[in-house]
Amino acid sequence: MATIVKREGRDGPRYYVVYRYGGKQRWELAGRREVDARRLKARIEKQLYEGTFRMVDDKTFDDLSEEFLRLKRREVRPNTFTAYESAARRLLRHLSGRKLKDIGVREVEELSSAFLSEGISTATAFRCLSLLSSMFKKAVLWGYIPYNPAEYVKKPRVERPEPDFLEPEEIRRLIEATEERHRALIMFACLTGARQSEILGLRWGDLDLEEGRAYIRQVLQGGKFYPPKSRAGRRVIDLPPVLVEELKVHRLRQAVELEENPHDLVFTTSLGTPMDKRNVTQRILEPALRKAGLRKVGFHALRHSYISMLIAQGESIKTVQALAGHSSVRMTVDVYGHLFERAGKAAAERLEKAIYGKMEKSASNTSSNTS
């Protein structure tokens, strides 16, 4: 009923599935791999036999983008969806109005080059091409196109930037410069390394101030509460005594100032409602940084600072992973591996001092006793 035809081109072979439908011979591109052609042939033959075959609709990239985002809005969390929307807008600047069947491997390769020539970061280009591949993969499942052209295009290599962090003395100055009613929030971020979404989703029922512990059980994103993404994110954090005392003062102040706190949140607006992450950065963190005479950093830098201090004081990779709530040790190493290298050098120097320092002291004592 259908046959596979291989055609050689300047950029390599292409496989087509040839069949008859509606009294006409039709050619459908399957891609560069024979395995894709066999799958397409089997699907076409099955649908022709069952009488369910339909010609691939002339869908445009605009149609695919709209349908994909509509689906993902229901499936992913607000922060992830915002990233999808941003990448989709950038893709539409180049692919709007194009029919899906006219977008092949060469067009995706040209798109990749265009992104880099625009001067955008390799990380942004990588995210856009990754989203494009996901969108085309869904288009294949929906029957709009026979194969995923983005699957064969090499994505740009992303160099992970070193995380920005504050030194311990800068952390102290930041905490002291923070407005008193918000000091517990900034202290919590600096002394626990919790993510901003975890801090803003923290409830009083998640704190055990007698034992000095915080239980991370939910996060706040886009005004809604969700469980942590991974099992590692659902964790227990030991609180230093100074933070416990600040939280007790914060709880007393909140009991006086708030008329209601329907979500039992530790950190709220003056009305008892969940806090917006942008407002926290712009109205709390940045004024405190200016007052302390420190450079401008994002809220996530407080988490980086906490983790860097753990590494500097010699904590093991496994301990850092658990305290940070990373899903794997690899994630910890990927982001903070260079800091472990520095910590290793410092450990070697401490070991040398421990051995040779004592030996020198012992030799000195022996010499004085002899004399």
3-state secondary structure 66-124: HHHHHHHHHHCCHHHHHHHHHHHHHHHHHHCCCEHHHCCHHHHHHHHHHHHHCCCCHHH
Number of Cβ within a 10 Å radius of residue 214: 24
Kindly state the tokens that stand for 326: 């990373």
Structure confidence by residue, pLDDT tens digits, 254-280: 999 999 999 999 999 999 999 999 999
Residue 207 CA to its chain's centroid (Å): 26
Instruction: Please tell me what DSSP assigns to residue 195.
Output: -
Q: Provide the pLDDT for residue 14.
A: 85
pLDDT tens digit sequence for 8-29: 877 788 888 899 887 888 887 7
Sign, CA dihedral 168-173-176-177, equals negative
Query: Both tokens of residue 309?
Result: 């201090």
User: Is 0.75 topped by the overall pTM?
Assistant: no
pLDDT at 73 over 60: yes
Distances from the Cα of 186 to the Cα of 75, 134, 213, 282, angstroms: 32, 38, 17, 13
